[in-house]
Chains A and B, each alone.
Chain A
Amino acid sequence: MGYLGVTTLVDHIQGGNTPTMVDTGVTLVTMANIESSEVQEALGANGNAAIQ
């Protein structure tokens, strides 16, 4: 959310089209995928909502 927020703003400042709504997506986190890089990124850096 922080990531997409900043990139959306910079896009706008630079004159790009800005969508009214930006969906971050939802990641289902289970025992099976908790170690995967996609989930790690969602939990750690991207701030996506995660479901366990």
Chain B
Amino acid sequence: MGELHSGSGLVSILMHRIEGFLAPRYRGKVVLQASIFAIYLKIRGLLNNRVIANRGFALDLKGYSVTFLHFANLLASMHPIRATLSIFSLLLGFSLGIGQEASSEYRIAVVPKGTDRDRWQAIHAGALKASEELAAEGVQVEILWKGETVSRSDKQIQVVDTFTGQRLSGILVASIDETHLSGNIRIDRNSDLPLVYIDSGLDADRPLSYVATDNFQGGAIAADRIGQLTEGVGNVILLRHRQGDTNSEAREAGFIEKIKSEYPSIRMISIDQYAGDSMSQADTAAEYLLNRYGRRVNAVFASSASGADAMLNALRNFNLAGQVYLVGYEASSTPYARARCKV
């Protein structure tokens, strides 16, 4: 069923692309050709589909007929040369797609925000682990991992677009800029390709599912940890991540609310500095904070890996390591170092 669905998805996408060229003049022969071609595709597609035995067979057949009727009408209204070209491109797409079917039952694309950080490596490892476990249960899942080294939403949209033309069973996207991506994401509109957002992307039209961490609660856990370490008394700094990043903003909100409601004797002496995306920006923010508050601060919560790393370095440079508690959010390889030197 997965294959059939993504097959009709492919046709829908092509049709949407073809619609721009319409010149409603030619009919007849083209309709006949398209119908024969449709029947050929259907037979070939069904023969190659190993899942149909236990899935909604009739339903899929119906979906196919409707799709091809629509397609035939479309072709009839086109210039013969354009119609022929469309048929050839479709034929090519299908033979490629059908060829790939034998290697894997499902193909799932995973698009991270970037490829540089440990976090995305961990997500990749998680996806592969799921694929291995499913293989042990007899379900073959091929993971197609592709991100850009630069975390920019326009780059990410390009990556997503390259996947929309492929034969997939589903796609996981960790959207960099929720509104931007949802405004441009074509898989969401023009196909029935199942889409699941991971990490972030709540504003999008209709993802199937949203798999993420409860960041607000994570921030509250960090606040509890600081409350426990300082025994509920002291001055604390919140080093934020980046403006507009919904995940870290939720962590920060959870942290602030928890401190305010549960730890009246903990004072938040700075909550307006941002670590940002680059390491140099994070270092600058951390040094600024320690220059200004270094003598008074008892604990720091950094809501991102870059902020936590920068703050750790700064604490060492200011000879404050071992005196100031540092709680950082996010899994990276450095928390090991941090934990071991008992900051």
Q: Is B298 an interface residue (CB 8 A)?
A: no
Knowing A2-B124, A3-B126, A45-B122, the reply to whether A18 touches B208 (Cβ < 8 A) is yes
Contact A13 B169 (CB under 8 A): yes
Measured as residues with beta carbon below 8 angstroms from the partner, the interface class of chain B is 35 or more
Among A12, A26, A47, point to the contact of B209 (Cβ < 8 A): A12
Contact B119 A47 (CB under 8 A): yes
Contact A12 B208 (CB under 8 A): yes
Contact B211 A5 (CB under 8 A): yes
Report the bound CA distance from A35 to B139 in whole Å. Answer: 33
Q: Name which residue of chain A comes closest to B229, CB basis.
A: A30
Q: Name which residue of chain A comes closest to B124, CB basis.
A: A2
Among A9, A14, A24, A25, point to the contact of B172 (Cβ < 8 A): A9
Among B108, B215, B330, B342, point to the contact of A50 (Cβ < 8 A): B330
Q: B residues 113-135 with Cβ under 8 Å of A?
A: 119, 122-131, 134
Report the bound CA distance from A31 to B336 in whole Å. Answer: 9
Contact A46 B122 (CB under 8 A): yes
Report the bound CA distance from A3 to B260 in whole Å. Answer: 35
Q: Is B93 an interface residue (CB 8 A)?
A: no
Report the bound CA distance from A19 to B169 in whole Å. Answer: 18
Q: Is B217 an interface residue (CB 8 A)?
A: yes
Q: A residues 3-24 with Cβ under 8 Å of B?
A: 3-10, 12-15, 18-24
In the complex, chain B residues whose CB is within 8 Å of the CB of A28: 221, 225
In the complex, chain B residues whose CB is within 8 Å of the CB of A4: 126, 130, 198, 211
Contact A22 B329 (CB under 8 A): no
Contact A49 B106 (CB under 8 A): no
In the complex, chain A residues whose CB is within 8 Å of the CB of B124: 2
Knowing A2-B124, A13-B170, A45-B129, the reply to whether A29 touches B339 (Cβ < 8 A) is yes
Interface size on A, residues (CB 8 A): 39
Contact B212 A51 (CB under 8 A): no
Q: Name which residue of chain A comes closest to B225, CB basis.
A: A28
Report the bound CA distance from A22 to B136 in whole Å. Answer: 24
Contact A2 B127 (CB under 8 A): yes
Contact B125 A44 (CB under 8 A): yes
Q: Is B194 an interface residue (CB 8 A)?
A: yes
Contact A6 B125 (CB under 8 A): no
Contact A31 B126 (CB under 8 A): no
Contact A46 B218 (CB under 8 A): no
Among B122, B128, B208, B214, point to the contact of A9 (Cβ < 8 A): B208
Q: B residues 197-236 with Cβ under 8 Å of A?
A: 198-199, 208-215, 217-218, 221-222, 225
Q: Name which residue of chain B comes closest to A3, CB basis.
A: B126
Knowing A9-B108, A34-B339, the reply to whether A2 touches B126 (Cβ < 8 A) is yes
**Measured between C-beta atoms, what is the minimum distance from A39 to chain B in Å?**
10
Report the bound CA distance from A14 to B194 in whole Å. Answer: 12
Contact B328 A51 (CB under 8 A): yes
22 residue pairs of the A-B complex, CB under 8 angstroms, read: A1-B211, A2-B123, A2-B128, A3-B130, A4-B198, A5-B198, A5-B211, A9-B170, A9-B172, A9-B208, A12-B208, A13-B2, A26-B214, A31-B339, A31-B342, A44-B122, A47-B125, A48-B331, A49-B215, A49-B331, A51-B221, A51-B222
The 4 closest A-B pairs by CB, nearest first: A2-B126, A2-B127, A47-B122, A3-B126
Which residues of A line the B interface, CB within 8 A?
1-10, 12-15, 18-26, 28-31, 34, 42-52
20 further A-B contacts with Cβ under 8 Å, apart from A2-B125, A6-B108, A6-B141, are A1-B211, A2-B126, A2-B172, A5-B123, A5-B127, A6-B131, A8-B196, A9-B208, A10-B106, A10-B108, A10-B134, A15-B55, A23-B214, A26-B213, A29-B335, A34-B335, A34-B336, A34-B339, A43-B331, A51-B222
